[in-house]
Each structure stands twice: as C-alpha cells, then as structure tokens.
Structure 1
Amino acid sequence: MSWELVATVLGSVSIVTGSVVFLGGAVGLLRFPDLYVRTSAIGAAAGLGLVFVIVGAFLLHPTWDAAPKLAVAALLQFASSAIGAMYIARAGFLSGAAPTTATLYSQIRFTADAPPHDPEEARDE
C-alpha cells in the first residue's frame, strides 16, 4: 500500500468526519433548548469540525509550504471558536436570556424561576 493511497483515505475520512461534526452542531442548534447549550454546541462543532477539515485537506494535498499555515489556522480556530462561544453566551446573559426551565442552578447567579439580575450591574462587575 502506497503512502499516497493511505493519505487520500485518511484525508477523505477526516473531511467526512469534520462534516459530520458540523452536521451535529447544526442539529444541536435546532434541537437544544436554550441559548447557552446551543452556544456550547456550535462552539465545539466549529472548533473541532474545522480542524478535521483542515487536517483532511492537508492529507489530500500535502506540501511543506502549507503545513505551518494549516497548523496556525487550526490553533487560531480552536482559540477563536471557544472565545466566540463564550462571548455569545455572555451577551445573551447580559441581555437577559433565561436558561431553560430544566436548568435548576447556574454559576452566573440566577435560577430558572428567578429572572437574572440587572444587566447594567453585570456590566460593572
């Protein structure tokens, strides 16, 4: 078995895996109950899915010139998807988006049956 065949198969599997992760994030966006869980699903899917696609693209067309660029792109994607998801959830909290009624307690100091504290106070903290 040649290296080209192995790289082609692994690259294709990696791209399909990334696509399945994106599909899972899309299903989570449609099916999960509130902003906070949806944001978590999309942040994880964006970070992991794109890295699978980047690795698959590298395996399908490997060049030493592309390797550092792809490594930087993967690292930046991991960092920016997590930070972006956190800031979307924070913006939802500051605008008063309540969690689902299944959530009993939150680390950000409000319960499902009590409204969140004043968003203006949260900005000052």
Structure 2
Amino acid sequence: PQDWSGDRPLASYPRAGFADLAQVRHHRPVVVLDVRRELEWKQAHLPDSTHIPLHELPQRLAEVPDGEVWVHCAAGYRASIAASLLAAAGRPVVHIDDDFTRAVADGLTAADAE
C-alpha cells in the first residue's frame, strides 16, 4: 500500500452503519452524501441528503457541503470509493458501510422523488 500512496501518508476513515447515522444526528449536524445512481435515488432517499452520483463526484467535489460527510450508497462499495475521494481532498468523512434498505428500520426517514 505504501507504493500506491506515493509521497502522501497512508490514511483511513471511520466506518459506520445507518443506525450510527440516526444516533449521531441527534447530537450534531452532519452532511449526508448519497452517491447512488439517479434511478436509485428517485426510488428512495434520505430527504436532507446531498445527491451526487459516484461517477460525477470527482468533478463535483466542491458541491459537497462543508462539515463532516457521512457517505452512503446502496450497499457500501461505492460509498467506500467516494469516502476515499473525499478523504484525499482533505474532507472529514465517515463511510456508511451498510445496506440502504436498513436505513428506515435503523431510525431514519426515507422519501421518494416527487
């Protein structure tokens, strides 16, 4: 891994689930970034989340609101890539490594596109 990072130090970021997100939102404001595709977002999403599909994120990093970013997708894989991009850009990030279908059961509210 050190060969992959070049001159930059290796870094990591925390992982959490949707239950953790539901709990932390009672204590402090966080940015929720949804990196799923447009169709997935239209089917159901967290109403106060920022939606930037993963394939657009490198060009749209400046659109991610300031603050600690909790990033999610449908199952965690795309969110891990997005978390890496955000961390490399110096943003405080938490990777939600969880299945989106559990978000409501874990205490969050979901909406569909209207």
TM over 0.5: no
Q: Which has the higher strand share?
A: 2
TM-score, normalization by structure 1: 0.20
The structure having more radius of gyration, on CA atoms, is 1
Q: Which has the higher helix share?
A: 1
TM-score, normalization by structure 2: 0.21
